[in-house]
Copies of this chain bind each other. A is one copy, B any other.
């Protein structure tokens, strides 16, 4: 099962559209570090620049200042969890059909791709990638047939199942679409006379754009000239916004789904403090993900907050391996405890989630070696027990420690004196409209299940290696 993290950015009617897109992606770099791309439209020609690597690796001044002409731009950043990290799969996805060029940038994951592919291949379609975007483009092309673009897009949306927030650039239009459940975030803003769209509002802040609103589930927004038209695609369905964006994935200074991430995380920490009271010398986060829940926990519990584990800011991606006898090296190289803070202390650690538990286990072991007297952990989300089919990668279900272990077993595995997770109820209390969120990773109640899913994955094995 292919999974992708992605970030989107679009801008309409700006004299430096490519440059704005560059910064809009740059601010969202945490959403995908593997490839980046920008496509621009100048009223008659479409241009693209895509590449592997971080945003500053892919674009240079020549691209932004000279080559990527036009006042409409769509950008995309991507991190793939499959091996298929080829330039071939970088987005936006650019095609030509019906005499025009179109570019599509997509965040999310479709769940009926195999079935749709087979149907299209039977009709003579050829595929060059494993991107959902390519599939989507094939559908639009089939449905369009000389007709109306918006209608063709709506028909294609009706055909696919799954999570998709998308930006589509076609001739003079910039179209933003969110699937009927609204799994992945996408917001609209404004700067000067330009409209901007982004997965997270931290992109707006960097560009000094003003936040307007979140795109609605099932909404298709068509921007053309000075006009923004809102259409509805297909039947309305219950909102199922990804709660994990709030718990972990989005930047704390962003708004997603209309919520401020920072506030939600702090609130989760506060609720957690009430749910699982504990004494201790101080509250400390595992950096950086646990910081905001730990702040909330400290406020609520009255315990002092300490930043007792220090992050190495220079840890990059390519890395020389240590010699054999350095145990837990990869843990140690990223964060290092302040020894004097740990010895003989009763530690209360707050983290935002536990996926496999192995990294946390090795950190806890290190704290024991440094003389911690007791180690208690509080986690600001419920146990993650089910895989996500809509774009968040917790690896396959077999690796989720909470899938087959109860809380006591997990505490024992990690080496904790006590462990408490935030309850589903507590989590619901930490957001404004709890019914609007997908919590399938905690509950297993999927809004829709992927084709042929029975606990094992099929498509990935077949295509991952070859492309």
Contact = CB atoms under 8 A, between A and B. Distances in A.
B305 A95 contact: no
Contacts of A467: 48, 94
A126 B95 contact: yes
A253 interface: yes
A322 interface: yes
Contact of A56 (B121, B144, B251, B318): B318
A320 B61 contact: yes
Contact of A208 (B16, B310, B326, B338): B326
A343 to B, nearest CB: 11
Contact of A23 (B48, B207, B322, B340): B322
A11 interface: no
A141 B122 contact: no
A323 interface: yes
Interface string A124-152: 11111000000001100110111000000
Interface residues of A, number: 91
B19 A323 contact: yes
A126 B127 CA distance: 10
A446 to B, nearest CB: 28
Nearest to A86: B48
B304 A292 contact: no
A46 B464 CA distance: 11
A433 interface: no
A465 interface: yes
Interface stretch (A24-32, A381-389, A409-417): A24-32
Contacts of A333: 23, 26-27, 206
A246 to B, nearest CB: 14
A126 to B, nearest CB: 4
A98 B121 CA distance: 5
A39 to B, nearest CB: 10
A141 B128 contact: no
A389 to B, nearest CB: 22
Given A336-B202, A336-B205, A30 B313 contact: yes
A337 to B, nearest CB: 7
Question: What is the total number of copies of this protein in its complex?
Answer: 4
A263 interface: yes
B253 A338 contact: yes
Contact of A465 (B47, B99, B124): B47
Nearest to A20: B323
Contacts of A112: none
Given A30-B314, A313-B30, A125 B125 contact: yes
Of A27, A59, A87, A124, most buried by chain B (CB within 10 Å of CB) is A124
A152 to B, nearest CB: 10
Nearest to A201: B339
A126 B64 contact: no
Contacts of A98: 121-122
A295 interface: yes
A453 interface: no
A419 interface: no
A146 B122 contact: yes
Nearest to A294: B307
B262 A341 contact: yes
A299 B291 contact: no
Contact of A466 (B46, B314, B336): B46
Contacts of A253: 310, 336-339
24 contacts: A22-B320, A45-B466, A56-B319, A60-B320, A94-B128, A94-B467, A95-B126, A95-B127, A97-B125, A99-B121, A124-B138, A202-B310, A205-B332, A206-B329, A206-B332, A253-B338, A253-B339, A262-B341, A263-B338, A291-B307, A295-B305, A295-B306, A298-B305, A299-B304
Interface of A: 16, 19, 22-23, 26-27, 29-30, 33, 45-48, 54-56, 59-61, 64, 87, 94-99, 101, 118, 121-128, 137-138, 141-142, 144-146, 202, 205-208, 251-253, 260, 262-263, 288, 291-292, 295, 298-299, 304-308, 310, 312-314, 316, 318-323, 326, 329, 332-333, 336-341, 463, 465-467
List 3 tightest A-B contacts by C-beta distance, closest first. A29-B314, A253-B310, A124-B142
